[in-house]
Amino acid sequence: MLFLISLLSLFANILSVEAAELTAPIYCNATSQCPEEFPCCSQFGQCGTGQYCINNCNPKFSFSIDSCVPMPVCKDSSTKFDDYSSKVLNADTYLNNASAADWTYSGYLVDYPDEDSMILAMPKNSGGSVLSTTRYMWYGKVSARLKSSHLGGVVSSMILFSNVQDEIDIEFIGADLNTVQTNFYWEGTLNYTNSANMTTSNTFENYHDYEIDWHEDYITWSIDGVVGRTLYKNQTYNETTGIYEFPQTPSRIQISIWPGGNATSAPGTIAWAGGAINWDAPDIQDPGYYYMMVQEANITCYDPPANVKKNGTKSYIYTSNKDFTQDSIMISDKDFVLENSAWTGLNLTEGAKAKPSEAKASSKLSSSHNSTSSASSTAFHNSTSSTMHHNSTLTSITSMFSNSTSQSSTKHASTTSKTSERKSTASKTDPSTLQTTTKSSQSSSTSTSTIRNQKDSNTGAITKLNGLCAIIVAILTALLA
C-alpha cells in the first residue's frame, strides 16, 4: 500500500513539473533562438506567434528571418488627435492590417476635448500606455505636438524603434521639465555616450513641437523648429567591426508614458528617471492617473537608399542575417496581414491557409501581458471587454483606475499628470470615451516582464495533466481513508 502511494505521489509530481514547463515562457536572445513552433522573438525577448510576429518582432533571435511578418512600407500621414481615441486599434488584437488605421495602442487612452488632444494615461501601479504607428518609416521626418508628464520616476517619450532595435529617442524626465533628452542606439547596443540634452520651457505646462529628421547620413532633433542636435553617420563608424553604428533599419514611431522609477526597475534606471515614482501622488487621486497629452503628429517618408533591392512596393523584409544593416533590407510585394493570432510570417511565406482550429497557437492573449503581479483591476475587468473599446459603465474615470494593481517594470508605457484645473476637467470626461486594454506595452529592449501567449496545444496538454493529477489525488485520498 505504501509503495503504491509513493508511486502515485511520484507520478503526480512528474505531471506537475510537466505542466509547469508547458506554461513557462520561451526566451530568445543572442545565444538562444525561438523554436519553429513558436518562431517569433518579441521585442521583450520571448517567443510566440501572432502579435509576437508583428510588434517589433526581432528577426535576429527568431527561428528564421522570415518568421517575423513583413513590415508595411511608410506612407505620409497627418493626425489630429481631437476626438481620436475610437480610431486607434487595440494592439492586442491587431493583425497587421495597416490599411485599417494609422495607430495602435496598449494601455489607456482618454479624449481631452478641452485642448483638442488625447491623453495617454498611467494609472496606479500600471505600466502606462504606448501609441504606435501601424507602418514603418525607413528614413523620414516625424513631428509631434505634445505635453510631457511630470514628477519623479515618470518618463514620457517619442521614439523611432526598429525590429532589430535601432532606436532614435526624444525623452522627458518628469523631475526635470526644462530638459529634453535625445539619444540613439544601434541594434540595441547600450552606449551611454550617445545621449545629449536640449532645453526648452516647461514641457508639462506647454505644448511644443518635437521633431526627429532622419536621413541616411545624418539625424537632427528639433524643438519648435529649432535644431538642437545633429548626428552624422560618419561619427558612428566602428573601426574594429567596419560598421556604422547608426540607426538605419525601418522603424515604427511610438509615443509613450512609462514608470521608469517603478520599484521593479534597475537602480540605474530609477536614478535616471528622477527617482522612485510616487504611486500616491495627487495625480493618482485626481484624475486617477499620471498622464501626457498628444495633439498632433505628422510623418513624411523619404526615399529609401539608392541601392536598395526592390521586388515590389508593399513591405520591407530582411533578406540576410549577416549584420542586419540597411543592406540586408528589400522592398517587396509580400503580404503582411495575418489571418489570426496563430499565424506567423512562415504562414505568409508558405502561402498557408491554416484554419484557426488547425493552428499551433491560440488567438487568445494573456489578460495582463506585461504584468508582474497576478492581481488586476476588478472594476476594469467588469466594465470593459478585452477586445472592444467602449464598454465602460463606470461613472468616473477616477474609479476606473483606482483599483488598477497590475505591476510593471517595463519601459515606454506612458502616463501624464496635469495641473489641478486640468485634472478636474479630465476627471469629468465621459467614461464612455475611455479606451483601455489589460496590456501595457513597451518599446524598450530592456524590458523582460512580458509573458508568452498561451498556446492551444499547451492549454490542452495542461488540462489533461491537471485531470490526471486530480485522479491521482482522489486515489490517494481513497487509499488513505
DSSP code for 245: -
> Is residue 380 within 8 Å of residue 400, measured between CB atoms?
yes
Q: Which of 410, 414, 408, 407 is nearest to 445 (CA)?
A: 410
For residue 315, pLDDT beyond 60: yes
Backbone angles phi, psi at 383, to 5 degrees: -110, -5
87 CB neighbour count, 10 Å cutoff: 15
> Nearest 5°: CA angle at 378, between 375 and 384?
120
Q: Which of 20-34, 175-189, 320-334, 371-385 has the lowest mean pLDDT?
A: 371-385
Bridge-partner residues for 257, per DSSP? 129, 156
pTM: 0.76
Q: How far is CA 174 from CA 75, 147, 171, 359, in A?
A: 33, 11, 10, 45
pLDDT at 24: 83
> Is residue 330 within 8 Å of residue 65, measured between CB atoms?
no
pLDDT band at 287 (very low <50, low <70, confident <90, very high): very high
For residue 242, pLDDT beyond 50: yes
pLDDT band at 3 (very low <50, low <70, confident <90, very high): low
For the four alpha carbons of 103, 228, 206 and 419, in that order, the dihedral sign comes to positive
* pLDDT tens string 445-466: 333 223 333 334 454 555 555 6
How many Å apart are CA 94 and CA 96, to the nearest integer?
6
For residue 9, pLDDT beyond 70: no
pLDDT at 331: 98
pLDDT at 364: 30
Higher per-residue confidence, 409 vs 95: 95
pLDDT at 131: 98
Is 171 one of the catalytic residues? yes
> Is residue 354 within 8 Å of residue 342, measured between CB atoms?
yes
Q: Above pLDDT 70, what percent of the chain?
A: 68
For residue 218, pLDDT beyond 90: yes
pLDDT band at 192 (very low <50, low <70, confident <90, very high): confident
pLDDT at 479: 62
Backbone angles phi, psi at 414, to 5 degrees: -110, 155
For residue 387, pLDDT beyond 70: no
Classify burial at 276, counting beta carbons within 10 Å of its beta carbon; exposed 0-12, middle 13-18, buried 19 or more: middle
Distance of alpha carbon 456 from the chain centroid: 24
pLDDT at 411: 38
- 37, 115, 167, 358: the active-site residue: 167
pLDDT at 385: 29
Residues in the chain: 481
* pLDDT tens string 162-188: 999 999 999 999 999 999 999 999 999
> Is residue 159 within 8 Å of residue 252, measured between CB atoms?
no
pLDDT band at 18 (very low <50, low <70, confident <90, very high): low
pLDDT band at 470 (very low <50, low <70, confident <90, very high): low
How many Å apart are CA 146 and CA 157, to the nearest integer?
10
Q: Each residue of 438-470: b (16+ CB within 10 Å) or e?
A: bbbbbbbbbbebbbbbbbbebeeebeebeeebe
For residue 299, pLDDT beyond 70: yes
* pLDDT tens string 123-155: 999 999 999 999 999 999 999 999 999 999 999
How many Å apart are CA 57 and CA 68, to the nearest integer?
6
pLDDT band at 2 (very low <50, low <70, confident <90, very high): low
Angle, helices 2-23 vs 456-480, to 10°: value is 160
Beta strands 243-244 and 237-238 are antiparallel
pLDDT band at 14 (very low <50, low <70, confident <90, very high): low
What average pLDDT does the chain have? Answer: 78
DSSP letter string over 100-121?
S-SEEEESEEEEEGGGTEEEEE
pLDDT at 398: 39
pLDDT at 150: 98
pLDDT band at 469 (very low <50, low <70, confident <90, very high): low
The CA-based dihedral angle spanning residues 458, 459, 460, 462, taken in that order and rounded to the nearest 10 degrees: 80
Distance of alpha carbon 165 from the chain centroid: 13
Grid coordinates representing 253?
Answer: 514611431
Residue 53: which residues within 8 A CB-CB, separation 6 or more?
A: 39, 40, 67, 68, 69, 338, 343, 344, 345
> Is residue 18 within 8 Å of residue 465, measured between CB atoms?
yes
* pLDDT tens string 26-75: 999 999 999 999 999 998 999 999 999 998 999 999 999 999 999 999 99
pLDDT at 394: 25
- 21, 36, 115, 171: the active-site residue: 171
